[in-house]
Amino acid sequence: MESFFNSSAVQPAATYAQLFEIAKQQHNMSTMESLWQAHYAYWGNDTLATGIMAFVAHELIYFGRCIPWIIADALPIIFRKYKIQEKKSPSVNDQWTCIKYILAIHFIIELPLIVLFHPMMELCGLSYTLPFPQLRTIAAQIVTFFLVEDTYHYWLHRAMHWGPLYRSIHRIHHQYAAPFGLTAEYASPWETLLLGFGTIGPPLVMGLITGEVHLMTVLVWMTLRQIQAIDAHSGYDFPWSLRRIVPFWGGADWHDDHHRYFVGNYSSSFKHWDVLMGTVAGPRGKATKRKA
Ligand SMILES: [Zn+2]
Ligand SMILES: [Zn+2]
């Protein structure tokens, strides 16, 4: 399939830079939009272009976001005071085992799904043409995705703590009782597929219903969701952590208790489901129940 960006005016061996210059000459286009057009024109195959962009972004964001947490673990003299389970730091061996496992999951499970994303999104009526949607549309849709994913994650994750599902699927993710950034996606391939649907499903379903979801919105959503998952597993809670500004945001403080006490705090981003369903983990949960 050809790219929807007509590149017939461009010589076949045009470089990214040349394509970017051509795109820039078009009026009313932001730098990001020019880059987007140049990217699709360069690859000349939209499925490939979307797949490469999403996969490279996924790797850069995942490992890029883990680097600050690896540095924090390597400098306990500065960061130990912010560590939630301060006596349990991951060893270099733990981090290395995790990196190898995550790379295998990314290449064997996630890469084929990412390549399939383009035809799936076209089927569901998502768009990837220019211009990008307005910022407020992107923001409103992402807030919806966060709420839907959190609900899906709460119930499915809670179900995964049921004996047979735990033993066959979820046990791998609980190998570390004191999580660290890299463990965000340390999970069975089945868990990656099942829980991952909570991230990929909402934009596709919203696209089917409204016909107004753009690939750019999906990429921003996936970026934020990845950062949320990595930060929730970081094992660090700072005076400036998001959960101190947004009181219903869970963050590392919340998810660390899930790994530490094993029961409770099943949601991904927010606290409301656990509070409503009486599944707050650890001493905090007991205190809430006493108060009630
Ligand atoms: Zn769990
Ligand atoms: Zn976890």
Query: How confident is the model over 163-213, as pLDDT tens digits?
Result: 999 999 999 999 998 999 999 999 999 999 999 999 999 999 999 999 999
Question: pLDDT grade, residue 18 (50/70/90)?
Answer: confident
- Starting from the CA of residue 177, give the closest ligand: 2
**What's the CA-to-centroid distance between 233 and ligand 2, angstroms?**
6
Q: Tally the C-alpha atoms within 13 A of residue 152's C-alpha that lie toward its C-beta.
A: 15
8 CA → ligand 1 middle, Å = 52
Q: List the one residue out of 31, 29, 75, 97 whose CA is nearest residue 236.
A: 75
Ligand with the closest atom to the CA of 232: 2
Q: How far apart are CA 9 and CA 172, in angstroms?
A: 52
Q: How far apart are the first and last CA of the chain?
A: 60
Measured in Å, residue 204 CA sits from the centre of ligand 1 at: 26
Task: Reduce the DSSP state of residue 164 to 3 states and report it.
Answer: helix
Hey, which residues does 203 pair with through a beta bridge? Answer: none
pLDDT tens digits, one per residue of 56-99: 999 999 999 999 999 999 999 999 999 998 888 899 999 999 99
